[in-house]
Amino acid sequence: MSPMAAAMLSSHPNVMPNVTAPAATAGSARLLLLLRRRRHGRPQAVRSINRPDPSDPFPGTLGISRVDWKASCAFLSSKAAAGPGSSSDKPLSPSGDPPAADPEPDDDDDGKGGNHRLSAAINGVRTAGAGALDLVPISNLPRPLTIADLSPAPMHGSRLRVAYQGVPGAYSEAAAGKAYPNCEAIPCDQFEVAFQAVELWIADRAVLPVENSLGGSIHRNYDLLLRHRLHIVGEVQLPVHHCLLALPGVRKEYLTRVMSHPQALAQCELTLTRLGLNVTREAFDDTAGAAEHVANNGLRDTAAIASARAAELYGLQVLADGIQDDSSNVTRFVMLAREPIIPRTDRPFKTSIVFAHDREGTSVLFKVLSAFAFRDISLTKIESRPHRHRPIRLVDDANVGTAKHFEYMFYVDFEASMADTRAQNALAEIQEFTSFLRVLGSYPMDMTPWGAPSSSTNPPPPPPSCSAPPSS
C-alpha cells in the first residue's frame, strides 16, 4: 500500500503514522491535518479539500499519484458500503461531531464510521435533509445506452417495426405482413411520413408501393426515393383483390358515390360501368381509409373500393367481389431501410439506380442502355421524372430562350446484383458520361408467382437474410 493510503487508513485517527518527507507531499499534509481537526470537532469545508495546489502534478488529487488516489478511493468506498448498523449510518450533529449516545468512530473495531465520512467528504456529496455526507448509490447512476436502445435488431419479422401508408386494412398493410411476417405494422397517413418514420428510428422498415400492373407507376414514391436517403432492401409483389363495400342493408341501386384511392378507382373503372352504377368517383387517401370514412360517417349513399379485410374491420358488407378490371392485378412494393444489405450472387437480385445527364441529345441515354445491353443485363423498368432542380433546358445555342424542353431524371431497374462484376463494370461506364448517378439499392427479387393469393395464415418462409423479402 502507498504511504498516502496508509496515512488515510490508520487504525487510530489520533495517532499519526510515520511518513517520510519525500512521500508526504503538501497535499497529503493538508489531508492529514483535516483528519485530526475532524476528530477534535473542527470540521473543514468540503471545498477546501478540492482547492487546487499549484504544486500538485494532477490538480484535485491532493498531490498524490493518480494510482494511489484511485486505490485509496476504492478502498474507502468499499469500507463505506459496509452493512447497516455501523456508526456510519447515524447522522452527524450540526456541529459535525457524532451523537453523544454513539461511540466515536475510532472505537469501532474496523473504523468504518471515520472512513465513511472521509470518503463522503472527498466525493463532496451531502445527504438531503439529514445534513450528513454520503456516497452516491451506484444503483442510481444512469445506465449507458447500448445499440439495442436505439435500433433493435430482432430476427426476421420478429416484431420488426414496419411503416406503411394507410390505415389498418390497407393493401400496404398486407404487403408489410407478407414481406415481414409477424411484424408490428405502423400506419402512416402519408408516404412522406413513412419515409420519415424510418429516418427518425420510429420504424425499422417501410413498405411502399411503386407500381401497379394496371395503374402504372406511383410517381410520388419515385420522387421521395430521390429526396430521402433510405435504401431499397427488398421487394414484394401483392395480388390486389378489390371489393365494393357499403353499410349493411344498402343496395347498389341506391349508391350515388364511390370513394377510394385514385389507383383503385382507375383499376375498377370498366367494372363499375358494367355494373350499371351511375355514381361519381371521389378520390381518397387510401382504400381502407375510404372504407373507414363510410363506416364512421354512416354514409348510406356512398360505397368504398377496398379489401375484404377492410370490410371486416369496419363492419361493412361486400356488394361486389373482385371488381378489378383485370384479374391479374398486382402491385409491386419496395422495402426500405436506413442501411443497405450486402448484395449476393447465390439468388436472383435486382438493382435500382437513378441518373441524370447534362448533355444535349439522346446519345447519353443510348449509351446508358448500351452499357447494360453489351453485358447481357436485362432491364426490368425505366422511368423518367422531371428534374426538380433544373426542370427546363434551352435547346438553341443562342441562349435566347426560343425553344425549351424538360430535363429528366431516369430510374432504371435491372436484373443483376452489385456483387456481380458485370453490374459493377456497367455502372463504372455509366458514371463516365452522366452528371449524377445513385444506387437506390441492390436487393433480392420476389420470386412469388403473381397468381398466388396472399395469405396471412400461411406466410412464406423467411429468407436467410433478415432484410430480404420472402421467396418461393
CB atoms within 10 A of CB 110: 11
Active-site option among 25, 287, 331, 351: 331
Beta-strand relationship, 257-260 and 302-306: parallel
333: annotated active-site residue:
yes
Active-site option among 333, 372, 410, 414: 333
Cα(156)–Cα(469) distance, rounded to whole angstroms? 10
Contact yes or no for 219/385 (Cβ under 8 A):
yes
* 305 contacts: CB under 8 Å, gap ≥ 6: 242, 243, 244, 245, 258, 259, 260, 261, 264, 265, 268, 287, 290, 323
**Distance between first and last Cα of the chain:** 70
Burial 193-231 (b: 16+ CB within 10 A, else e): bbbbbbeeeebbbbbbbbbbbbbebbeebbbbbbebebb
* 262 contacts: CB under 8 Å, gap ≥ 6: 283
Strand partners of residue 330: 239
331: annotated active-site residue:
yes
Question: Per the structure block, which three cell numbers stand in for 139?
Answer: 444503483
Which residues are designated catalytic?
331, 333
